[in-house]
Structure 1
Amino acid sequence: MGKKLFIILVLLMSLSLIGIIFVQAYYINNSIKNEEEQFNFNVKKALSFTARQIEEDEIERYYDKYQSLVDQEKQADTVAISNIFLYQQNENTNETIISRSGILEENYKLPSSFFDIGLDSINIKRILNKSETKIYSNRGTLDNELQSNPIYSMSKIARLTEAEKIALAELLKVAGSRVPIHKRIDNAVIDSLLSSKLKEDNVELAYEFAIYSNDLATKVQSEGFELEKSATYSIPIFDSGTDRNNYRLLVNFPKRNKFIQSSIIRMTLLSIIFTSIIIIAYSSALLQLFKQRKISEIKTDFINNMTHEFKTPIATINLALDAIKNPKVIEDKERVMRYLQMIKDENKRMHAQVENVLRISKLEKNELNISKDRVKLHDLIEDALTHVELIVEDRKGFIKTHLDADKSSVLANETHFTNVIVNILDNAIKYSPNAPKIDVYTENVGTNIILKIKDQGSGMSKAAQKRVFEKFYREHTGNIHNVKGHGLGLAYVKRIVDDHQGHISVESEKEKGSTFIIKLPLIS
């Protein structure tokens, strides 16, 4: 797959995933808004029902009282009532309040000439309403008023017509505004009406209520009511048409948000779970794609390096064989022996490379049998130095040892751990452009022994330090193969150190060299 196509596919997949997440978020947000609107509608409907029912119940109570007076009469008066009076006596202030609501019915019979509609005559009825309230401070003033205004002296009561019922309702609104609100309505009634209406709409949620007058609290309220503007609903109640008392029925729901969200919490949780699974799966797939692409590039580089490293010894062997075939050379035993040694060395070199590859493969499959014995790390270091000292001397370099650890007994496999030290020393030699200068240190730290191998070579970048122990990894140098290797040596080193319950790290700086640090547990 080409790099451009790979990038386009990743972008399209990422955009699709982001789109899915945004669509899910939009629908969840929209669902919450819909639930909130439905909740608000149900609450306002319950408030309207409660306020209307309370007002109707109050009027019905007064009408029942009036009707009971009518029922006490032996004979009904046939004269229609044109005025309704409400008499209130306040014992505390010695005031008498008389409220009147009057109904005037006027019937007109108009000749057909007024309206050309094909009828002989038209009956027109007009109903007029007039209300007034008077307050008398003492009984004498009231008696004088009654004597001077005979309309107040009506003694007979008749049944109410529909028009008169309207007049009574209007009258009670005005008269009721002078009665304290806690005497007009009971908390239990409000609670019962609200609760029943809310349950009809499946709003089973704890609430608190109150009645406020001109934005001031009254005695009518539940115990835990607190005015919260964001969660409080209100509606007018006992509207008298005057500014004397501007009553409002208020209700709030302390757990309103939780209730609204609970209705879609399952859908939201499922959406989050499935979206998270998609994100995790997508991230894993994307990570695997990048890893596979990187591995493909590393393997290609590995094959190129292996090919390059095998070409040189093969070419050397072929040249040596061709030289031996020469009749002049074959008679010169010294030259033949030298060529045979070259063939042997190059063959050994190729065999070592193949062994490294096979060793790593066995480690990956846990097929490499590593038996451990009690050994002294200092002995392994001395043994490893003998493998590389000739190469160092040939390049005019040196290896200095600073074996300061008093205790060096560890549980290790002699062969494999010697190879670990040899590989690190070999790296130090290969990555030293000039004569290799290497220092080897040991020291005891607690129950561990620390081995440091420090060189003064070309060093490595920060990025390379993070990946130096990866299989097949070599720091990118373009197509220049001035340092031979295939990126398996340090991967093998880390696997062996880990298998010995140790830890390996590297400290390095470009052009200033590298220091490999191995920590192993001591044994008594």
Structure 2
Amino acid sequence: MKGKTLTYIIILATITVAGALSLQFFFLRSSYNYSEEQFRESAAVALKEVAWQLLVASGNTANFDSITPVEIISDSYYLVTVDAQIDFELLKLHLLEELKKHQIYTDFEFAINNPSSANLEQKTFISARGEENPSTYNFLTGKDASAYYFAVHFPDRAPYFQARLSIWYLFTGLLLVVILFFGYTLSVIIRQRQLSQIQKDFINNLTHELKTPISSIALSAKVIADEKILENPKRLFEYARIIQEQNHRLSKNVEKVLNLASLEKNKVHLNKEKIDLQKFLKEVTEYFSQSDSGSKADIKLNLEKATMIIVADKFHFTNLVLNILENGAKYCEKKPRLIIDAYSSKNYLSIRFTDNGIGISKKYRRKIFKRFFRIPTGNVHNVKGFGLGLDYVRKIVKAHKWEIKVDNNPSGGSIFTLLIPQKNG
């Protein structure tokens, strides 16, 4: 799939999903507002019926049509005027009946105004299950303290809304699940596309890295096969040197690929042993200075005088250090200068590798340890490699339960710091 096509698909799908989600929340909000209005109307009608029943019981219904018995103070608080003395038990009975009749199955609490004291008294809480308890709610009094009225408060209207909006909650939940699944699928597609591109670059680079020494060896072998080469020993030795050098390069590249395959197939098996860190670093840097990359670099060691002992797999630890040093030397546009500092602190033994190379942009510092990843440098063949070295470093660091971090070198280049917990020493 081409890049532009995938981009258009992502944009169109995102707009569609955003539209569907917005529409769903719009309907959910509209349904909630409708349920809110329905609750107010149902509560008002039910309380008006209660007022009528109380007036019927007192035999005083003449003025009922000329008054507005129900005053809505808020969505959950109502005052109901009754032009007659209110009996507590009768009020409770009618409240239970009328609220149930209008399908308001939720907790409520009520209180009755005492005209003589101008206070709301007999405060009672009744749960949706019919349990009765004293109420601690601070009921607000009406404007006319001398009137006969009662107040009703609904402390929790959630059960009412849940019953009416449950289908919308279900649809919204299903939509969110679909969106999450869509997002996950999209991320997998993007990751697969990125991996495909990385693997394509890796194969192209691998082909180039293997074909070059093979071509050089084939050409040199063809020249050596000519009997006339014996007449020029210097030329013979030169082509023999080329074959040896290219064979070493070819073997090194094949070893890297095989090493990666081995690590992918099996867990890293460590043969741990005690290692004198100062002595080890001197030996590794001396070996590196004799390699093609190391022979061109200035290497400086700053080691503490006190002996530092760690427990590690010597073979893998050696390769780890060599990989970091090789990267520092390869990715440098001037004479490579590598500084290795080894020092101890309270919790860690630290090895810091400082180079004067091209540096690593902050946005790539997390990606450099991924398999096949190489920092874009224009021509992929400017610097030889497969993007396997730091992936190997990450695996070995993880296997030893160490830590590694990358920072910018203020004077140019990068700083890799290997943190070895003191318990490993």
Does the alignment reach a TM-score above 0.5? Answer: yes
User: What's the CA shift for 1:442?
Assistant: 0.6
Judge conservation of contact 1:320–1:342 (CA < 8 Å) in 2: yes
1:313 aligns with 2:213: yes
CA distance in 1, matches of 2:269, 2:242: 33
1:263 aligns with 2:163: yes
CA distance in 2, matches of 1:340, 1:512: 40
In the TM superposition, what whole-angstrom CA distance separates every residue of 1:165-206 from its partner, at most 9, and x where no partner exists? xxxx58xx9xxxxxxx89744333333222222222332432
In the TM superposition, what whole-angstrom CA distance separates every residue of 1:44-91 from its partner, at most 9, and x where no partner exists? 222222232333333379xxxxxxxxxxxxxxxxxxxxxxxxxxxxxx
CA 1:222–1:15: 2 relative to 1, 3 Å: farther
Which one of the candidate residues 323, 327, 334 is aligned to 1:423?
323
User: What's the CA shift for 1:250?
Assistant: 4.9
Which one of the candidate residues 77, 83, 88 is aligned to 1:187?
88
CA 1:249–1:19: 2 relative to 1, 3 Å: farther
Determine helix, strand or coil for the equivalent of 1:449: strand
User: What's the CA shift for 1:286?
Assistant: 2.2
Q: What TM-score comes out, normalization by structure 2 length?
A: 0.80
CA 1:189–1:220: 2 relative to 1, 3 Å: farther
Which one of the candidate residues 378, 382, 404 is aligned to 2:304?
404
Judge conservation of contact 1:187–1:221 (CA < 8 Å) in 2: no
CA distance in 2, matches of 1:359, 1:394: 25
Which one of the candidate residues 109, 133, 150 is aligned to 1:207?
109
Identity of paired residues, percent?
27
Please tell me the residue identity of whatever aligns with 1:202: Q
| Runs of 5+ consecutive residues of structure 1 not aligned to the other structure | 62-168, 174-180, 235-243
Judge conservation of contact 1:455–1:515 (CA < 8 Å) in 2: yes
CA distance in 1, matches of 2:328, 2:145: 96
Judge conservation of contact 1:459–1:511 (CA < 8 Å) in 2: no
Judge conservation of contact 1:228–1:252 (CA < 8 Å) in 2: no
1:502 aligns with 2:402: yes
Judge conservation of contact 1:212–1:250 (CA < 8 Å) in 2: no
In the TM superposition, what whole-angstrom CA distance separates every residue of 1:415-449 from its partner, at most 9, and x where no partner exists? 11111111111111112222221111111122532
User: What's the CA shift for 1:410?
Assistant: 1.7
| Runs of 5+ consecutive residues of structure 2 not aligned to the other structure | 67-81, 124-134
Judge conservation of contact 1:405–1:443 (CA < 8 Å) in 2: no
Judge conservation of contact 1:406–1:444 (CA < 8 Å) in 2: no
1:322 aligns with 2:214: no
2:177 is matched with 277
Q: Which has the larger radius of gyration?
A: 1
1:298 is matched with 198
CA 1:328–1:510: 2 relative to 1, 3 Å: farther
* Aligned pairs (5 A) from 1:44-443: 44-59=44-59, 184-204=85-105, 205-210=107-112, 218=118, 222-223=122-123, 226-227=138-139, 249-264=149-164, 266-267=166-167, 270-271=170-171, 273-390=173-290, 391=292, 394-395=295-296, 397-404=297-304, 406-443=306-343
Determine helix, strand or coil for the equivalent of 1:255: coil
Please tell me the residue identity of whatever aligns with 2:90: V
Judge conservation of contact 2:112–2:122 (CA < 8 Å) in 1: yes
In the TM superposition, what whole-angstrom CA distance separates every residue of 1:95-142 from its partner, at most 9, and x where no partner exists? xxxxxxxxxxxxxxxxxxxxxxxxxxxxxxxxxxxxxxxxxxxxxxxx
Judge conservation of contact 1:399–1:438 (CA < 8 Å) in 2: yes
1:470 is matched with 370
CA distance in 2, matches of 1:496, 1:405: 27
Determine helix, strand or coil for the equivalent of 1:353: helix
Question: Which shifted more, 196-205 or 273-282?
Answer: 273-282
CA distance in 2, matches of 1:245, 1:58: 21
1:4 is matched with 4
CA distance in 2, matches of 1:467, 1:507: 14
Judge conservation of contact 2:55–2:83 (CA < 8 Å) in 1: no
Q: What TM-score comes out, normalization by structure 1 length?
A: 0.66
Determine helix, strand or coil for the equivalent of 1:451: strand
CA 1:346–1:284: 2 relative to 1, 3 Å: same
Determine helix, strand or coil for the equivalent of 1:339: helix
Judge conservation of contact 1:458–1:512 (CA < 8 Å) in 2: yes
2:31 is matched with 31
Question: Which shifted more, 450-459 or 219-228?
Answer: 219-228
Question: Which shifted more, 379-388 or 330-339?
Answer: 330-339
Please tell me the residue identity of whatever aligns with 2:341: Y
User: What's the CA shift for 1:275?
Assistant: 4.0
CA distance in 2, matches of 1:452, 1:220: 77
In the TM superposition, what whole-angstrom CA distance separates every residue of 1:452-503 from its partner, at most 9, and x where no partner exists? 1111122221122222211111111122522111111111111111111111
User: What's the CA shift for 1:271?
Assistant: 4.6
CA distance in 1, matches of 2:207, 2:410: 28
